[in-house]
Amino acid sequence: MKKHKIARVLNNSIAEEMDIEAGDFLLKINDQEMDDVFDYQYLASDDYLEVLIEKPDGDQWLLEIDKEPDEDLGIEFDNGLMDSYRSCNNKCIFCFIDQMPPGMRSTLYFKDDDSRLSFLQGNYITLTNMSDHDLDRIIKYHMSPINISFQTTNPKLRCMMLNNRFAGEALKKVDRLFDAGITMNGQIVLCKGINDGDELKRSIEDLMKYIPYLESVSVVPVGLSKYRDGLYPLEPFCRKDAERTIDLIEEFQNAAYEKCRLHFVHASDEFYLLAGREMPEKERYDGYPQLENGVGMIRLLLDEFDEALDYLTGYIKTHDGITDIKRNVSVATGRLATPYISDMAERLMDIMPGLKINVYDIRNDFFGEMITVAGLLTGRDIKAQLEGKELGECLILPHCVLRSGEDVFLDDMRLPDLENSLQVPIDIVKSSGWDFVEKAVGEKIYE
């Protein structure tokens, strides 16, 4: 029998009320054992539970629990999956993990391809590592959304791109998910001369057949670091490539919207920046389902900033003294977003005469200059390029430079160490135009 060790019990939760404690083991729910989090999520959603708990001394408690349907028990486990993590069996020609420098922490080299992480954390999976048992349980439990890395719908080409002879056959699993009404989102990592152009057109045409359960597909350019010795020769996209890609995608957006009032396929922000085009209006993003994939982040940031600036303008009229604020701050970000952050800073300084914002774009020396997103900046690059610069009384950094929920950069430098090196307090700003304004002004303005 599998024993699932409980790491934490949330305050004021059902589990706390039932005297379940950290260090206890969950054995069964409603007399059923659990392989992993899929089973737990499904079984724990009932309104009546019989939960078998084992205490560290071996004593077993059978607890009867009446609750609201889908009300959480308030249990967190040592292992979020309640099982071992499944590594990827593919050797994709575009894999960024293969482009990592040596000497980093071991977890950064782990390639996951786990359908359970797709459900829990939004990770994208290739389907090649999804067993029939997994597929059956996803359908039985109606777990969704499932995020899928398609890359191409051409079976032979997919086998080549993933270096897996079963990669083309794995696409048939999408038919089963579609027939069962499982919500999906898709991703295509675009590689120049391989799955772009006519191959991209074919893929989008094929994927549109899965609407409405396939709700969106993002198209993102392959990320190329400087550590590519011995890897498949991939080329970066140029401006004309980006323009052609956007034109193709927007043509399909128009067709999809006319057919089902959904734009469906989206080019990442990087393509629009590379093409030198304005970001699409917010209505084209269908509620931003692909935000974490870099699709619509800049549009959302700009729209929120406009709203925040309008609010601040009204706030100034009713709060004496705020325009007398004398404040000098700095903002550092990746080169991709710098033009937009600079424009936001200028507009903010226009209505706050005493505010000075220094904006610095950080070149990615760690991975190479072709990597321009803020989320792949390292502490050492920020430190090296900001030493001796005018930073003012505060340095503002985007939250994506840190590991989720921690104060550690990608290269393991800690936030306090960077503060000590630069001799300036650091404020972490959320990916929100409202938060940017408030952190820059240095006052609580929004309720």
Reported as a pLDDT band with limits 50, 70 and 90, residue 41 is confident
Please provide residue 211's backbone torsions phi and psi, each rounded to the nearest 5 degrees. -65, 140
**Residue in this structure with the two tokens 């699409």, named with its chain if needed:** 280
Q: Which of 342, 345, 344 is nearest to 361 (CA)?
A: 342
| Contact (Cβ atoms closer than 8 angstroms) between residue 390 and residue 330 | yes
End-to-end CA distance of the chain: give it in Å, rounded.
51
For residues 397 and 374, what is the distance between their CA atoms, to the nearest angstrom?
Answer: 9
Superfamily of domain 4-77 in the CATH hierarchy: PDZ domain (2.30.42.10)
- Could you tell me the two tokens for 342? 């600079």
Query: Which amino acid is residue 57, in one-letter code?
Result: D
Q: What average pLDDT score do residues 274-278 get? A: 93
What is the bridge-based pairing of β-strands 394-398 and 327-334? parallel
Q: Which CATH architecture has domain 299-441?
A: 3-Layer(aba) Sandwich (3.40)
What is the 8-class DSSP label of residue 210? G
> For 97-295, CATH number?
3.80.30.10
Do you know the residue count of the chain?
A: 447
For residue 109, the model assigns a pLDDT of 56
Taking each helix axis as running N to C, give the angle between helix 433-441 and helix 338-351, from 0 to 180 degrees, rounded to the nearest 10.
Answer: 50
Share of the chain above pLDDT 90, in %: 69
Q: Which of 35-44, 313-322, 415-424 ranks highest by mean pLDDT?
A: 415-424
Q: State pTM to two decimals.
A: 0.84
| Residue 175 main-chain phi, psi, to 5 deg | -60, -40
Preceding omega of 233 cis (within 30 degrees of 0): no
d(C-alpha 435, C-alpha 178), whole Å:
39
* Domain residue spans of the chain: 4-77, 97-295, 299-441
pLDDT at 336: 87
On whether the CB atoms of residues 380 and 411 are closer than 8 A, the answer is yes
Extended strands (E) in 172-263: 184-190, 214-221
Q: Which of 15-24, 84-93, 326-335 has the lowest mean pLDDT?
A: 84-93
**Per-residue pLDDT at 117:** 60
What is residue 134's predicted lDDT score, i.e. its pLDDT? Answer: 86
Most confident of the following: 138-142, 313-317, 329-333: 329-333
In the chain, count H helices and then E strands.
Answer: 14, 15
For the segment 196-213, what is each residue's pLDDT rounded down to a tens digit?
999 999 999 999 999 999
